[in-house]
Amino acid sequence: MARPLRIEYDGAVYHITSRGNQKKLIYKDDQDRQSFLDILQQVNFRYNWICHAYCLMNNHYHLVIETPDGNLSKGMRQLNGVYTQAFNRRHKRVGHIFQGRYKAILIQKESHLLEVCRYVALNPVRARISEKPEQWKWSSYLGTAEKKKAHPCLVPDWILYQFGKMRMRAQRNYREFVYEGIGGKKLWNEVRGQSLLGEDDFIESLIGYIKGYEEIEEIPREQRFLSRPHLREVFNVKVLSDKKKRSCVMH
């Protein structure tokens, strides 16, 4: 199994997903979902994590996590490991419930965090299990957008502050922002090497971290060599479409 690129540093922000083994359910009922959020709260406290958003689906979850102490891997081992034990104990089973390693995309906070949190809030709508984000109670949307008390694992303060200093006004603006994203652009088209989401200067700032992984063959090639420029950048040329390539005449 390929080993994913993990860049960790103080203050890093990630979009994290983990899926059920063989696409099976990781939550069989609301009690399982509540248990997962309670464990996430414990992990947040132990590892000083900040959870900006979450969405618990049926066979996978989405988290948006900030790590002030640069400890994503340690916290994820605890989160998935403890939840697996609790799930197996409750349902009298053994074995894995998650499919391989979790996926984590490193996010530039200033330019992309709001967009990623909107993506997470709209996941039930895209999956057609609810018509509106507020109809799915197992996401952070209600705890961010409404007066409803949020689960203690969630810290929506940074998100709301981007929409105003008065909480009620900020919540209203946030709701409008989320609804504007329905049917919007495909965010993940901007992800680089399946692991980074941000502007050019953000990617450049990470080159030192990426170079340290170039010799680890277990990491996918497109992630190991993110720090190397594409040929079109080196030669400053536009890439032709396949149709135009076929119409070119070689001299």
pLDDT tens for residues 102-141?
Answer: 999 999 999 999 999 999 999 999 999 999 999 999 999 9
pLDDT tens for residues 37-77?
Answer: 999 999 999 999 999 999 999 999 999 999 999 999 999 99
Output the pLDDT for position 249: 32
Domains of the chain (ranges plus CATH)?
12-235 (3.30.70.1290)
pLDDT tens for residues 227-236?
Answer: 444 433 422 3
Q: What is the mean pLDDT of the chain?
A: 85
Output the pLDDT for position 212: 54
Q: Pick left, alpha or beta for residue 164 (phi over 0 → left; psi -120 to 50 → alpha; otherwise beta).
A: left
Statement: residue 217 has pLDDT above 80: no
